[in-house]
Amino acid sequence: MIGSDRVTKRRRVKKKARRIATFGILSLAIIIFVFVALGSVMFQIVDKYKEKKNLEQKLVSLEEKEKELETEVKKLEDPEYLARYAREKYFYSKDGELILRIPEEK
């Protein structure tokens, strides 16, 4: 009987050790999965932050461009400015005027 108690005790110890090992491996796998998922989410957050910053800069640039265009529209409503703009930009001339194109220096 003493021998069978030892065998039974060894089996219990081995069974307990297997349970602990299985639980440890499972716990480790869950912890690794959680850290990988958190890392992925953190990278997405950083990417979205960078994208937001770029879009904010683009918005500022577009707002400045909008102000410039609004100013240009107001200027183009003036007939004198419009006539001068057309002469300069599209080489329109008044009667009797001669247009000479001078190359710009860079």
Greater confidence (76 vs 62) lies with 62
Q: What sections of the chain are H helices per DSSP?
A: 2-76, 79-90
In this predicted model, what pLDDT tens digit does every residue of 66-91 receive, in sequence order? 999 999 999 989 988 888 888 778 77
Which residue, among 24, 34, 14, 67, has the nearest Cα to 59 in the 3D structure?
A: 67
Which residues neighbour 105 within 8 Å (Cβ) at sequence distance 6 or greater? Answer: none
Does the global pTM surpass 0.85? no
Answer for the pair 87, 93: CB distance below 8 angstroms, yes or no.
yes
| Interatomic CA distance for residues 48 and 42, integer angstroms | 10
